Amino acid sequence: MQDVNWIALSIFVVLFGFVSWLGFAAAHWRKGDLDQLHEWGLGGRRFGTLITWFLVGGDVYTAYTFIAVPALAFGAGAIAFFAVPYTIIIYPLLFLVFRRIWHVCNKHGYITAGDFVRGRFGNRWLALAVTVTGIVATMPYIALQLVGIQVVIGALGISGTGLAADLPLLVAFVVLAAFTYSSGLRAPASIAVVKDILIYATALAAIIVIPIELGGFHKIFAAVPAQKLLLAVPGPNTTGSYSSYATLALGSAMALFLYPHTLTGILSASSGHAIRRNAAMLPGYTFMLGLLALFGFFVIAAGVDKLPEYAAGFKQFGNNFAVPALLLHSFPSWFVGIAFAAIGIGALVPAAIMSIAAANLYTRNIHREFINKNPTDKQESQIAKVVSLIVKVGALVFILFVPTQYAIQLQLLGGIWIIQTLPPVMLGAYTRWFNSWALLAGWAVGTFAGTAMAIATKLTPTFPLHLGIHTFPGYTAVYTVVLNLVVAIVLTPVFNAMSSQRVPVDETTAADYHA
C-alpha cells in the first residue's frame, strides 16, 4: 500500500470529527423526549420534505453503493447499470404504496413493518416472520458499510497488522455507536445533509475533471472493451443477460423499501405530502448514481489498476479499491480527503439507521410481543438503545473476523429473504383478502426456495430457470417471490375453508390509508 497521505488524512479526520460532533448535537435538534421509542427511533415523526429527502437518500445511496457499483462496472461492465433503472422503478412504488403505509402507521402509532402486519392481519407469528427477516437481512448490510470505511482507511495509506490495522475502524464504530445511542434517528438525519453535499460535490467534480484529463468521453468509451459496453447477446433458447438485467432491476426495486432502514426513513416523515414530494425529488439521486457507475469505466480508461502504487490496494480489497485508486490518481490530496470523507460519512448514515431500524423491530415485535407485553416508555426506549449497540457489535465482529466475501454473499441472500415480506407488507397496504397463515406459508416456501437456489448457484444473485428447452436466467428474488405469492393465493381459500373464524381482527380501516 502507498505511504500515508497526510493531507488527505487530515481533511478526512476533520470532516469525520465534525459530523461526529453533529451526531451528538442532534439530540437537541427538534428536541423531544428520547425516552419514548417514536422519538428516539423515528425522530418524533417530524422530518419535513427536505430532511426526509436527505435521510432516505442516505438510506439508499450508501458508502458501499459509492464503491460497489463502479467496482461492478469496472469488473463486469454494462450489467452494473441495472442499478439505474432499479432506482427509477422504486419511486412510483414509494408514491403509490408507501404513502399509504405511512398514513396507517401514523394513525395507529406503528413504528415497524412488523407493527403494521400485526395490526393488519392479527397474526403475531406472521409479524414475527417479517421482523426476523428484517433483522437478519439488515445485519450484513451494516457490515458492508463498515467495509466502505475499511477500504477508505486503507486507501489513505493506514495499514498494519492486528490492532494497528483495525484501530481506525474500531474508532469509527465507537463514534457511530455513541451518537446513535444518545441521539437516535436525529443523528443520521442531520449527518445525511453533510454526507450528501460532499458526495454530490465529489461526483460532479469527478464527472467533469476526469474526462478532461482522459481526453473526453469518446476516448474513455474507446478504451473500454466492447464486451463490457453492452450486455452479451443471448444465445439460442435463452434470454441470457437480458433477463438477468431486467429482473435484477425489478427485484431490487421491489425489495428496497421493504428493508427496515428504508421504511424507518419513510415513517419518520412528518406527512404523507412529504412522502409524495420525495417520490418526485429522489430521482435526483438516480442521476448521481448513473454518474457514479461511469467511474468504473473511468478506471479502465485511466488504467489505474495496472499502476504499481495501487497494486497492494487491489490485492487487498479487489475491485472495491477501484474508486479510491481513481480518486487518488486524478485529484490533489486535499480533494481526496473530501471525497474519502464523503464515503466514510456515507457509511455512518445508513449504518446508524440500520441499527436503529433493527432495534425498533426487536423491541416492538419480539420483546414487547413475546417477553414483556407492557413495558414503560422508558424501558422500551432503553431496550432499543441497547439492541442497537448489540447489532453494531455483531456487524463489527463479522467484518473483523469473517472474510468480506461472506458479507457480500449474505447481503445477496438478504435481498432474496427481504422480498418475501412483500405480500403481507406491500399487498397488505391494499387488501385484507389473504389469509395470514397462507401468507406465512408463502413466506416460508419463498425463503427456503430462495436460499436453496442461491446455494445451488454458489451464492450468485441469478438463477437459470429452465422451462422446457428454454433457459431464463433471472434474479432469484423475483422467481421466489412469485412462488411465495402463488402459495399464498392457493392456500388462502383452503385455510379460510378450514377455519371457523375467517378473518382475525383488523385494527385498520379503509380511511386510515388516505390523507
Give the residues across from 269 on adjacent strands.
47
Whole-angstrom CA distances from 219 to 215, 293, 329, 338, 471 are: 6, 17, 18, 28, 37
The secondary structure of 240-284, three-state, reads HHHHHHHHHHHHHHHHHCCCHHHHHHHHCECCHHHHHHHHHHCHH
Contacts of 235 (CB under 8 A, 6+ apart): none
Q: Can you list the residues of the chain whose pLDDT is less than 70?
A: 1-2, 160-166, 402, 404-405, 407, 500-503, 515
pLDDT tens digits, 109-160: 999 999 999 999 999 999 999 999 999 998 888 877 877 788 888 888 877 6
Instruction: Identify the sign of the CA torsion 369, 373, 377, 381.
Output: negative
Name the grid cell of 180. 446513535
pLDDT value at position 439? 96
pLDDT value at position 120? 94
pLDDT value at position 80? 86
Does any domain span residue 469? no
pLDDT value at position 208? 93
Task: Find the domain containing 164 and state its range.
Answer: 6-26+40-410
pLDDT value at position 477? 94
**CATH number reported for the structural domain that contains residue 285 in this entry:** 1.20.1730.10
The values of phi and psi at residue 470, to 5°, are -100, 145
Distance CA(354)–CA(254), nearest Å, equals 18
- Number of structural domains (the chain) is 1
Which of these, 80, 83, 63, 66, lies nearest to 143 by C-alpha position?
A: 63
pLDDT value at position 31? 78
Does any domain span residue 455? no
pLDDT value at position 164? 59
Does any domain span residue 478? no
pLDDT tens digits, 227-276: 888 888 888 878 888 898 899 999 999 998 999 999 999 999 998 899 98
Instruction: Identify the sign of the CA torsion 297, 298, 302, 306.
Output: negative
Please, what is the Cα angle at 485 between 455 and 135, to 5 degrees?
Answer: 55
Helix (H) or strand (E) run with residue 180 in it: helix 163-183
For the chain, report the end-to-end CA distance as a whole number of angstroms: 56
pLDDT value at position 20? 87
Does any domain span residue 222? yes
Does any domain span residue 462? no
